[in-house]
Amino acid sequence: MAYKKYGETFKKIRKQNGFTLLDFSSVGLAKSTLSDFERGSTMISLEKIDLATIDGI
């Protein structure tokens, strides 16, 4: 499943940059949603990822 690959890559980059799941709550991503994404259970919108980038995460 492609979702899993995206999630694994996201998790790797997140950890390399020292961010926690809770750091992404400022852009409306719940910890559980992001955890599901990293495990490949769901997909998050690119808009949320863009907002995180703009927010400095």
In order along its 57 residues, the chain shows pLDDT tens digits of 677 898 999 999 999 999 999 998 888 889 999 999 999 999 988 777 776 776 666
Predicted confidence at residue 57, as pLDDT, reads 63
**Do you know the residue count of the chain?**
57
Predicted confidence at residue 44, as pLDDT, reads 87
Q: What is the CATH number of the domain that holds 22?
A: 1.10.260
Cα 30 to its chain centre, rounded Å, is 10
Predicted confidence at residue 11, as pLDDT, reads 94
Domain count, the chain: 1
How far apart are alpha carbons 19 and 29 in whole angstroms? Answer: 13
Predicted confidence at residue 35, as pLDDT, reads 94
Predicted confidence at residue 54, as pLDDT, reads 64
User: Which ranges in the chain belong to alpha helices (H)?
Assistant: 2-16, 31-39, 46-54
Domain that residue 19 falls in: 2-54
